Amino acid sequence: MNYHAIVFALVITVTSTARAWDAIGHLLVDCVAAERLTPAARQAADELVKQLEFPGRAYDFITAGCWMDDIKTRRKDVPYHGMFKPWHYIDLGVGPLAPAPEFPATVTLEDYQEGDIVRGLNRAVAVLRGGDDPLIKNRAVALAMVLHLTGDIHQPLHGAAWYFTATETDAGGNAVVIANSTRALTPAQKARGYKPHYALHYFWDTAYRAKFKDGQVLIEEAKDYEEPSAAAEAGPHWFDFTARAPDAAAAAQVTDFKAWALEDHALAREKVYGALRFDETHRQTTLSREYVESSRELARRQITLAGWRLAELLNRVLDPEYLKTQKAKPASGGEF
């Protein structure tokens, strides 16, 4: 099955809310995972995502990874609207003023305004395995969270933030402007004071399809189609998953979400911030061709790794026979 085509057939059903990865990036993660699920795990997952609630929208396994971004809406008729926003990231510090990376203690389980991506993943997986949580009301919601957060935690700027001072950060690159980029703004964005430049965070959300031309950073846009069949026929193939398959050890490391966050933090420190030249305020940068091209390849590898790990995690949780048939044991460590 051509999952690349499915991505573009389904992308028109997803809202344009800002994401990390963006909508297509999350669909790609789910597509990679779908190819590696066992039949039992896929059947269980398909049954669960049918139970997700969002007025006027139905999800399947590929699109369910966007549910956590979709509920950022202000629509009060949407269950869970506005909830879990801090659960999408963890701002482990980067820079000379940053504290040493640490993971906060467990917060009150009822408080969805606190928390981070590591604790969110642990809570969601616990519910997916049959546990209870005061906020994650059922296994369908838990699965949607696992789909989304597994993607997010492999985007480097969801595991790090540059510290301007001992307390002020760039919010994972959202406060850093890319000088050699431009973007079209909607009237609503102009009214809200948006700058017509990409932020560093947005660049990394879409880096898997970034280009460099005539000194400018460009994000190749996905075409919008009125008919899904047209998308399936004409949608571009962003990259080859199989050419970027991770090694077995990395793919099987699915029990320690802190380790995932620390991987992300290391990539952000070395490949995101460490490879950039900033102005004196550290709030503006100009990207080189080499940076854009290396970032594109890293983002594609991270999306692929996220998909492999997502499949491994779901196979273990949703298919009771998986570990027996694989003659595998869960990796040691972590809270999962």
Per-residue pLDDT reduced to its tens digit, 167-180: 999 999 999 999 99
- pLDDT-based confidence at residue 261 (cuts at 50, 70, 90): very high
* pLDDT score of 112 more than 80: yes
Which pair of structure tokens corresponds to residue 283?
């709030």
pLDDT of residue 186: 67
Torsion angle, alpha carbons of 191, 197, 202, 207, to 10: 150
- pLDDT-based confidence at residue 185 (cuts at 50, 70, 90): low
* pLDDT score of 13 more than 50: no
pLDDT of residue 177: 92
pLDDT of residue 184: 67
- For the chain, what percent of residues have pLDDT higher than 70? 84
Q: What is the pTM of this model?
A: 0.87
Counts of helices then strands in the chain (DSSP H, E): 13, 6
Q: Are strands 284-285 and 177-178 parallel, antiparallel or unpaired?
A: parallel
Tell me the residue ranges of DSSP E strands in the chain: 93-94, 161-162, 177-178, 210-213, 216-219, 284-285
Sign of CA dihedral 50, 52, 55, 58: negative
Mean pLDDT of 250-272: 94
What is the Cα–Cα distance from 16 to 316, expressed in whole angstroms? Answer: 32
- The whole-angstrom distance between residue 254's C-alpha and the CA centroid of its chain comes to 16
pLDDT of residue 243: 84
Instruction: Answer yes or no: are the C-beta atoms of 316 and 324 closer than 8 Å.
Output: no
Mean pLDDT of 152-160: 97
Lowest mean pLDDT among 165-179, 191-205, 208-222, 286-300: 191-205
Mean pLDDT of 223-245: 53
Single out the residue of 220, 83, 204, 229 nearest to residue 151, CA to CA: 204
* pLDDT score of 230 more than 80: no
pLDDT tens by residue, 41-89: 999 999 999 999 999 888 999 889 999 999 998 899 999 999 999 999 9
Say which residue the tokens 């080859």 belong to.
240
pLDDT of residue 22: 82
Exposed/middle/buried for 107, CB within 10 Å: 0-12, 13-18, 19+? middle
Collect all residues with Cβ–Cβ distance below 8 Å to 172 and sequence separation of at least 6.
Answer: 89, 91, 157, 158, 160, 161, 201
**Got the DSSP string for 15-68?**
-----SS-HHHHHHHHHHHHTT--HHHHHHHHHHHTT---TT----TTTGGGHH
Across the chain, what does the average pLDDT equal? 85
What is the Cα–Cα distance from 232 to 6, expressed in whole angstroms? Answer: 6
pLDDT of residue 196: 72
pLDDT tens by residue, 33-49: 999 999 999 999 999 99
- pLDDT-based confidence at residue 183 (cuts at 50, 70, 90): confident
- For the chain, what percent of residues have pLDDT higher than 90? 63
Helix extents (H) in 56-169: 67-70, 117-128, 139-152
Does 225 or 8 have the greater pLDDT score?
Answer: 8
Mean pLDDT of 249-270: 94
Mean pLDDT of 13-25: 57
Does 215 or 183 have the greater pLDDT score?
Answer: 215
Instruction: Answer yes or no: are the C-beta atoms of 274 and 267 closer than 8 Å.
Output: no
What is the Cα–Cα distance from 286 to 276, expressed in whole angstroms? Answer: 8
* pLDDT score of 3 more than 70: no
The domains found in the chain, sorted by start residue, are 3-326 (1.10.575.10)
Does 191 or 25 have the greater pLDDT score?
Answer: 25
Q: What is the CA radius of gyration of the chain?
A: 19
What is the Cα–Cα distance from 48 to 294, expressed in whole angstroms? Answer: 37
Please give the helix or strand (H or E) that residue 298 lies within, else none.
helix 289-318
Which amino acid belongs to residue 101? P
What is the Cα–Cα distance from 168 to 281, expressed in whole angstroms? Answer: 13
